[in-house]
Chain A
Amino acid sequence: EIVMTQSPATLSVSPGERATLSCRASQSVSSLLAWYQQKPGQAPRLLIYGASTRATGIPARFSGSGSGTEFTLTISSLQSEDFAIYYCHQYNNWPWTFGQGTKVEIK
């Protein structure tokens, strides 16, 4: 099973600032990586797939990069609605697995 490790566990950021979230895979997943956003009490929402392709309706301030084992989700200028938990997800090998999440909180 591929283990996904996200860092940091919590990221404190001021509104308007840039946030950079990392995700590392225990073995190569090529570019078969997605990012999801989850707010308290809500289901997750797809942000990025294929490591860098934004899903339908996702604002351009969200961008993804990386391949192999190292990936990054960048939120260029945090808005109030962006404070949430973010999960990376590999779909190169079954079982498709998720990271443990990075919580982005207001500084």
Chain B
Amino acid sequence: QVQLVESRGGLVKPGGSLRLSCAASGFTFSDSYMSWIRQAPGKGLEWISYISGSTRYTKYADSVKGRFTISRDNAKNSLYLQMNSLRTEDTAVYYCARSHQRLIEVIEYWGQGTLVTVSS
């Protein structure tokens, strides 16, 4: 059974940093593309980053490029998102997600999400 469990988010001041992690189980983690997708309160979904199983490929949305870094540790079955220079508009629920095995652009499994609030 696929499980994705995000670390607790929290309250961060503008300009601050936070690192999210996601513990994966129930599948071969190193074979899977993984992503972070966020949802601002009452808003729609925004795909902010993905990383290939080998870590060779990463991609970022313009809204987070240069501020956020996605990474993974296949030995620990863990995905990470380092968030720096946080802004109030980064306030959202952040979902860890696993791509469909045949279509990396489609999410087959989602974590339950963790709320990050950026506010002074």
Contacts and interface: CB of A to CB of B under 8 A. Distances in A.
Do A and B actually bind? yes
Interface of A: 32, 34, 36, 42-46, 49-50, 55, 87, 89, 91, 94-101
Q: Is the interface of A mostly helix, strand, loop or mixed?
A: loop
Interface string B49-77: 00000000001011000000000000000
Contact of A98 (B46, B103, B110): B46
Contacts of B112: 42-43
Nearest to B93: A43
B108 A87 contact: no
Given A46-B100, A46-B106, A46-B108, A95 B45 contact: no
B100 A87 contact: no
B85 to A, nearest CB: 20
Interface of B: 43-47, 59, 61-62, 95, 100, 103, 105-108, 110-113
State the 7 A-B residue pairs at the shortest beta-carbon distance, nearest first.
Answer: A91-B105, A43-B110, A98-B45, A100-B44, A49-B106, A95-B61, A96-B47
Contact of A94 (B45, B59, B103): B59
B97 to A, nearest CB: 8
A101 B44 CA distance: 7
Nearest to A34: B106
Nearest to A95: B61
Given A49-B103, A91-B106, A43 B44 contact: no
B63 to A, nearest CB: 9
Contacts of A101: 44
